[in-house]
A and B are shown apart, each in its own frame.
Chain A
Amino acid sequence: MARAWSLLKGPALPGINTTVNMEDKILLGHGSGGKLSHRLLKEIIFPYFSNPILDKADDAAVFDCKGRLAFTTDSFVVQPLFFPGGDIGKLAVCGTVNDLAVMGAKPLYLTAACIVEEGFEISLLKKLIRSMAQAAKHAGVKIVGGDLKVVEKGSCDGIFINTTGIGLVPPGIKISGNNAKAGDAVIINGNIGEHGAAVMSARNDYKLKTNIKSDCAGLNHLICGILKASNKIHVMRDPTRGGVATTLNEIALQSKAQIQIEEDSLPIPEAVRGICELLGIDPLYMANEGKVLIFCPENESKKVLSAMRNDPLGRNSRIIGRVVKKDNPLVLLRTAIGSTRIMDMLTGEQLPRIC
């Protein structure tokens, strides 16, 4: 994986000491591993991602690690590449950081592999790399390897990014979707549906003007605070594609539990509600990229909520429901008018290429 980036070390190759022109476009040669690749990596990627492990420029990143590891991967194909509140680069870093963090792991290292379409603007690539570097810095993770391939025009849509991450799970942490217990409180760290709504309005398919920003953010600092406040967290999961409803259904299935959510407690911003009402979409199925659902015993919830509200990403944290009992997997919604109904998993696609 790191091989393509291993050209970076050592003296400059002859004939490549000219700089990359930011007005230029990506050519097939930029992914060839030859001189064009070398120059691109040296000038666009390397300066932003530099760290001692990456800088060794070997075929694979080598590092010491003691303890239980969490290991995950995710690919990002969001369209548009830039949307209010984020871009595909930030999303690619935060997405993988969050998948590690919700397992209780401290995210350590990422690799980043980009598939770029021939003709993609180099200035945009630079912008995305910078955004990835910023997100990584904010999360405190290092990008220690990567790859860049170029495909013919039309073979991909601008850029696709894959990130893979490793994190360290501290002793005693046992978080899993299987662990929901009867009586657990279900907590969320804030507004629902903002990422989906932001991407939807940015696409402009519906000619909607909104001020909604994606909630795209790395959650590891918030989660670190939660784990310090309580050692009794049973489940954590980020409700991304398929939204809160689908994630809760996954947990209900894994834990064989019945979960009841209170519609009145759901933090759904006016603008998200507006866009959903207009398009006939349920915000509970809208993607989130900076949200985490937490299951913990009711008597721990006060501590957890207080820790969460101390973090900028958790100011609007609240309990949205409870695990009613261990039984046939089911998610119920107590509606605003006081009835209950099933809240099912998403069927089909609500909106493609949301992350």
Chain B
Amino acid sequence: MKYIDEFRNKEIVKKLATRIKELEPQGINLMEVCGTHTMVIFRSGIKQILPQGLNIISGPGCPVCVTDQMDIDRMLKLAGIKDVIVTSFGDMLRVPGTTSSLEKERAQGCDIRSVYSPLDSLEIARDNRNKEVVFLAVGFETTSPAIASAIADARKNKLDNFSIYPCHKLIPPALETLLKAKELKLDGFICPGHVSSIIGSASYEFVASQHKIPCVISGFEPVDILESVLMLLKQIREKRSTVEIQYKRAVQPQGNILAQELLKTVFTPADARWRGLGTIPQSGLDLNSDFNKFDARERFDLTVKNPSIPKNCLCGQVLRGVRTPAQCGLFAKACTPENPYGPCMVSSEGTCAAWYKYNR
């Protein structure tokens, strides 16, 4: 398949792996912060062909995984309200809240539908004018423009039975929190390709200039990842720290201006709770006052009891990269994809799910 096979080419992969080995990395920790990167690295078996002195750590790159337990519980409460249709990306359905999951609530009779796009939720709202349709807006900068577009569309078409539960997260503030926490020695970031296609490379400048950590924005195929690793190792060897774009076929330094403008029109940055990272200032997106009526939290009473996380669940530490799934006592024993304790085991992009599926 064009534009895919070239980036999975065995010969190119071999050459890149050799060049990486030639740089003889020792004790180097690179972190990727994108669930799709996590999955590609495991699915294609990239870790096996990298030298031992090079460690790729998965960070908080899965939007489902970083969703706070309180938010999950509120989503569950939302699903139980009469005449509410909850729509969501499929990954959220199996995430365990304090006492239930959306999948279990659906089996109890709640109207919960999985969609591929927020625009599908709009259609459901159009077809069910006597019901309230709420979209669970979980995602990073990659998904938020589509959701902004859906909200703008809802306002234009006076679809007042549509709203969202805003749970968006922004990647750069999370990187800053990780760096300030200094729990890990990080030598470089493999930055997310699709997020960056929206926000551009400039958003990571502070990482390179203030924290002196090299950044490379990477694509999603094995050749992309390996080339990004090589670019990072070169920066490290040359003692440089800049933001470079490997994924040039999709990412511009300035990002997608149209999407950025749309985001500004509909959303405003706000403090957000992250699983494992706590509340990070200005790391989420709330609706602007003009669009506030599309905020489900304004329409429904979503008060929930204190949420609780299963004892010994290390999802939070796994998300910060300070523990590997294998270091969690529940992993692959009590906690499996069929009986998940935390979101990292459920989401198709979760670090624990990737370890379980490909690396047990």
Residues of A within 8 A of B (CB): 205-206, 270, 273-274, 277, 279-280, 335-342, 344, 347-348
Q: Using Cβ atoms and an 8 Å threshold, which residues of chain B touch A277?
A: 1, 4
B45 to A335, Cβ gap below 8 A? Answer: yes
Shortest distance from the beta carbon of B61 to any chain A beta carbon, whole Å: 15
Q: Using Cβ atoms and an 8 Å threshold, which residues of chain B touch A338?
A: 10, 13-14, 45, 49
B46 to A337, Cβ gap below 8 A? Answer: yes
Give Cα A339–Cα B47 distance, bound, in whole angstroms.
9
7 contacts between A and B (CB under 8 A): A335-B43, A339-B46, A341-B44, A341-B45, A341-B359, A342-B360, A344-B357
Closest partner residue, chain B, to A336 (CB atom): B8
Residue from B10, B94, B338, B356 in contact with A336 in the complex, judged by beta carbons closer than 8 Å: B10
Q: Using Cβ atoms and an 8 Å threshold, which residues of chain A touch B116?
A: 205-206, 279
Q: Using Cβ atoms and an 8 Å threshold, which residues of chain A touch B45?
A: 335, 337-341
CB under 8 Å from chain A, chain B span 162-176: none
**Residue B306, interface by CB 8 Å:** no
Q: Provide the B2-44 mask, 1 if CB < 8 A to any CB of A, else 0.
A: 0010001010011000000000000000000000000000111
Q: Using Cβ atoms and an 8 Å threshold, which residues of chain B touch A270?
A: 1
Give Cα A340–Cα B49 distance, bound, in whole angstroms.
10
Interface size, chain B (Cβ < 8 Å): 25
Closest 3 CB pairs of A and B: A339-B45, A347-B337, A339-B48
Give Cα A344–Cα B332 distance, bound, in whole angstroms.
13
A337 to B1, Cβ gap below 8 A? Answer: no
Q: Using Cβ atoms and an 8 Å threshold, which residues of chain A touch B94?
A: 348
Give Cα A340–Cα B46 distance, bound, in whole angstroms.
9
Give Cα A340–Cα B45 distance, bound, in whole angstroms.
6
Q: Using Cβ atoms and an 8 Å threshold, which residues of chain A touch B60?
A: none
Give Cα A342–Cα B338 distance, bound, in whole angstroms.
17
B337 to A339, Cβ gap below 8 A? Answer: no
Q: What secondary structure prevails in chain A residues at the interface with B? A: loop
- In this complex, the member of A206, A341, A342 whose beta carbon has the largest number of chain B beta carbons within 10 angstroms is A341
A340 to B1, Cβ gap below 8 A? Answer: no
Q: Using Cβ atoms and an 8 Å threshold, which residues of chain A touch B8?
A: 336-337
Q: Using Cβ atoms and an 8 Å threshold, which residues of chain B touch A279?
A: 116
**Residue B351, interface by CB 8 Å:** no
Closest partner residue, chain B, to A278 (CB atom): B116
Residue from B1, B4, B47, B338 in contact with A347 in the complex, judged by beta carbons closer than 8 Å: B338
Q: Using Cβ atoms and an 8 Å threshold, which residues of chain B touch A344?
A: 356-358
Q: Using Cβ atoms and an 8 Å threshold, which residues of chain A touch B197?
A: none
**Residue B348, interface by CB 8 Å:** yes
Give Cα A260–Cα B280 distance, bound, in whole angstroms.
45
Give Cα A2–Cα B348 distance, bound, in whole angstroms.
47
Residue from B13, B338, B348 in contact with A337 in the complex, judged by beta carbons closer than 8 Å: B13
Shortest distance from the beta carbon of B105 to any chain A beta carbon, whole Å: 16
Give Cα A347–Cα B353 distance, bound, in whole angstroms.
11
Shortest distance from the beta carbon of A341 to any chain B beta carbon, whole Å: 4
A335 to B337, Cβ gap below 8 A? Answer: no
Residue from B4, B10, B13, B43 in contact with A341 in the complex, judged by beta carbons closer than 8 Å: B43
Asked, given contacts A338-B14, A342-B357, whether A280 binds B348 with beta carbons under 8 Å apart, the answer is yes
Q: Using Cβ atoms and an 8 Å threshold, which residues of chain A touch B42?
A: 341
**Residue B222, interface by CB 8 Å:** yes
Closest partner residue, chain A, to B354 (CB atom): A341
Closest partner residue, chain A, to B345 (CB atom): A347
Give Cα A338–Cα B47 distance, bound, in whole angstroms.
11
Q: Using Cβ atoms and an 8 Å threshold, which residues of chain A touch B44?
A: 335-337, 339, 341
Shortest distance from the beta carbon of A70 to any chain B beta carbon, whole Å: 31
Q: Using Cβ atoms and an 8 Å threshold, which residues of chain B touch A348?
A: 94, 337-338
Give Cα A340–Cα B43 distance, bound, in whole angstroms.
9
Give Cα A338–Cα B48 distance, bound, in whole angstroms.
9
Closest partner residue, chain B, to A270 (CB atom): B1
Shortest distance from the beta carbon of B353 to any chain A beta carbon, whole Å: 9
Give Cα A341–Cα B42 distance, bound, in whole angstroms.
8
Q: Using Cβ atoms and an 8 Å threshold, which residues of chain B touch A274?
A: 1
- In this complex, the member of A205, A337, A340 whose beta carbon has the largest number of chain B beta carbons within 10 angstroms is A337
Shortest distance from the beta carbon of B109 to any chain A beta carbon, whole Å: 15
Q: Using Cβ atoms and an 8 Å threshold, which residues of chain B touch A341?
A: 42-45, 358-359
Give Cα A335–Cα B14 distance, bound, in whole angstroms.
13
Give Cα A281–Cα B111 distance, bound, in whole angstroms.
25
Q: Using Cβ atoms and an 8 Å threshold, which residues of chain B touch A206?
A: 116
Give Cα A280–Cα B13 distance, bound, in whole angstroms.
22
A339 to B348, Cβ gap below 8 A? Answer: no
Give Cα A341–Cα B44 distance, bound, in whole angstroms.
8
Give Cα A341–Cα B41 distance, bound, in whole angstroms.
11
Give Cα A274–Cα B2 distance, bound, in whole angstroms.
10
If A274-B1, A341-B43 are given as contacts, then 7 extra A-B residue pairs at C-beta distance below 8 Å, sorted by A number, are A279-B116, A336-B222, A337-B13, A338-B49, A340-B48, A342-B358, A344-B356
CB under 8 Å from chain A, chain B span 97-143: 116
Give Cα A348–Cα B92 distance, bound, in whole angstroms.
13
Give Cα A214–Cα B67 distance, bound, in whole angstroms.
39
Give Cα A9–Cα B223 distance, bound, in whole angstroms.
69
Closest partner residue, chain A, to B336 (CB atom): A347
Q: Using Cβ atoms and an 8 Å threshold, which residues of chain A touch B4?
A: 273, 277
A337 to B359, Cβ gap below 8 A? Answer: no
Shortest distance from the beta carbon of A1 to any chain B beta carbon, whole Å: 32
Give Cα A274–Cα B46 distance, bound, in whole angstroms.
23
Give Cα A348–Cα B104 distance, bound, in whole angstroms.
13
- In this complex, the member of B42, B45, B348, B360 whose beta carbon has the largest number of chain A beta carbons within 10 angstroms is B45
